[in-house]
Amino acid sequence: MPYVTNEELKARAFGMGMVNPASRFKKLIIKDIPIMITQDNQVLCIPNTEEVKHIGISGMTGTCKSIFLNSLLSWDYWHVGHHCIILNDFQKETFEWSLPTDSFEYLLKRINVLPCPTPIVYVFPSTRTLQIEDKDKRFPTLKMTLPIEEVIKNVENYHPLDKSKVYLGNLMDKLVECNSIGEIRSIFEDNIPEKHVMMKYKLMNIFESLFNNNILNVSVPEAPAFLEYKDKQGEINNYYNLTIQTLLRAGFIPSIQTSDLRNHEYFSAYMSFVVEAIYRNQYEDSYFKDKTISLFADEIDKLWKGHNGQLIKTAMNLIGTNGRAARIGLRWSTQHYEQVPDQIRGNTKYLFVSRKSHAKEVNEIRRDFDIPKSMDKDILNLKTEPLKGIFEIVALTTEKFVLYDLVTGKISYSSSAYKGYLIPSMARHRRPNVQI
C-alpha cells in the first residue's frame, strides 16, 4: 500500500482547507501565450514558437474583439518580447491601454497576473484638417508626415494625374531632390516648354495641393517623417529611420490614429506606404533583421473601404502571404469574416470567434477551420457580459493549442475546437460613457 502523508489524511478527512497553501499549490510557468480558460479548467495558449503565426478574431460588434486584441498586445509585448504596432486606431480606442486595468483583477489572479499598462505612443498622420484634442495630449503624442521622395515617386497614388503623368517621367529624379514648393515650380518652369503651358500649370497645381494637404515632411517641419534614437550606450548606437520604425527601436508601441486620415482620398496610399515600409525594413535594416513584429489591425476589412482601397488591401495581403518569412505576425479582427481576403484567411493559423448572429457566418468560417456541428449553437449564443468580465469565445486552429491544466498542472497539445472565457487584458480597456 502506498505511503499516505499526514496532510493528505487531513485533506481526506476535513477537506483541502486544512492543507498548507505552500503544499497545496504547484508553481507552473506558462511560457506560451495564454488566451482563455476552457470549460474544463485549462488555460488555452497559442504556442510561443520562433515561427511567426497570424491570429484573428471574428464576431459581432461589442462582443470582445478589441478586448481580445488589447490582451494579445500585452502578451506579445511583455511576455514573448515582440515589437508591436497598432495599425489603425480609427475610433481612438487605445488611449486607455496606456493605463493598468482596474477591472476583473480577480480573473487575472487565476493565472497570477497583475495589471500592467502598455507603453504606447499615439501617432497622428499630419493632414490639413488634423486637430489633436487637449485631452489626448495627456498621453505621448506625435504628428507624422511622409517623406517627399515617397509621395513624388508614387504621386499617382496620392493625386490623379491623367495625361500629365507622361511629363513627370524625365523629371522624377530632379523632383525627389526638392525641399520646397518653390524648387518644384522652378523645375517645371525650366523643363516644360511654353507650348505645354497648360500642362505645366496643371502639374504645379497638383504639387501645390500635395503641399497644402500637410502630408509632406518638407511642408510640416514639426511633424517628422524620420526620427533619431540614441540609447544609453551613446552615439555609437544611434539609430535613424522612419518615424514608426524609430519608435519601435526605442521600445515603444506606435498606435496610428487614423480617425482624421481616413476622411481623405489618400488614406489608402498613406497606409500602404506604412505597411510596405515595415515589411521592407524587416529585410533591409540591420537592427530588425532578426526581430519579430506583431501588426495589429482592428476591423481589418474597413482599411480598404474607400478611394483607391486596393493599395492598402494589396499591402495587407503581402503581410498575409509573406509575413511569416518576414517575421511579421498579423493580429486582426473583423465583424465580417467573409470580407477578409483569402491571402489573410488562408494563412491565419489561430482564429477565435465571439458571438455570431447567423449560422451562415459560422459556415463561412467552417470553410477554413474544423468546427464540430455541435458547436454551431454555442457560437450563436456565446455570452458577453462586460460588467461581470464574462467574454465567451471559441478557439479554432489548423495547428495545435497548448493547454495547461489548472488542477493537475499537466501540459497537453490539441487541435480540437474549445469553448471558454477570454482572459481579460492587463491594460485598461475603454468603457462606454466612462472618461479617463
**Nine-digit cell string for 173:** 529624379
- C-alpha 352/C-alpha 35 separation (Å) is 9
Phi, psi of 383 (to 5 degrees): -85, 140
What dihedral do alpha carbons 98, 102, 107, 111 form, nearest 10°?
Answer: 50
Quick one: CA dihedral 15, 19, 22, 24, positive or negative?
A: negative
pLDDT value of residue 330: 98
**Which residues in 338-372 are b (16+ Cβ under 10 Å) and which e?**
eebbebbbebbbbbbbbbbeeeebbebbeebbebe
Closest alpha carbon to 155 in 198, 215, 201, 112: 215
Question: How far, CA to CA in Å, does 139 sit from each of 71, 78, 145, 434?
Answer: 20, 20, 20, 17
What dihedral do alpha carbons 318, 321, 324, 330 form, nearest 10°?
Answer: 70
**Strands of 103-229, DSSP E:** 120-125, 141-144, 226-229
pLDDT value of residue 430: 82
N-to-C CA span, the chain = 62
Question: How far, CA to CA in Å, does 337 sit from each of 293, 298, 333, 342, 360?
Answer: 24, 13, 9, 10, 11
Distance of CA 407 to the CA centre of its chain: 34
Q: What is the pLDDT along the chain (436 residues), one digit of tens a residue?
A: 455 566 666 666 666 566 565 555 567 889 999 999 999 999 999 999 999 999 999 999 989 999 999 999 999 999 999 999 999 999 999 999 999 998 888 888 889 999 999 999 999 999 999 999 999 999 999 999 999 999 988 999 998 877 777 778 778 888 888 888 899 999 988 888 888 888 888 888 888 999 999 999 999 999 999 999 987 765 567 899 999 999 999 999 999 999 999 999 999 999 999 999 999 999 999 999 999 999 999 999 999 998 999 999 999 999 999 999 999 999 999 999 999 999 999 999 999 999 999 999 999 999 999 999 999 999 999 998 887 888 999 999 999 999 999 888 899 999 999 999 999 999 999 877 677 7
- C-alpha 52/C-alpha 170 separation (Å) is 42
Question: How far, CA to CA in Å, does 417 sit from each of 30, 39, 79, 375?
Answer: 21, 12, 25, 9
pLDDT value of residue 1: 44
Each residue of 200-258: pLDDT tens digit? 888 888 889 999 999 999 999 999 999 999 877 655 678 999 999 999 999 999 999 99
Q: Are 384 and 62 in contact (CB under 8 A)?
A: yes
DSSP state of 285: -
Helices (H), 80-180: 105-109, 148-153, 155-158, 165-168, 172-175
Share of the chain above pLDDT 90, in %: 72
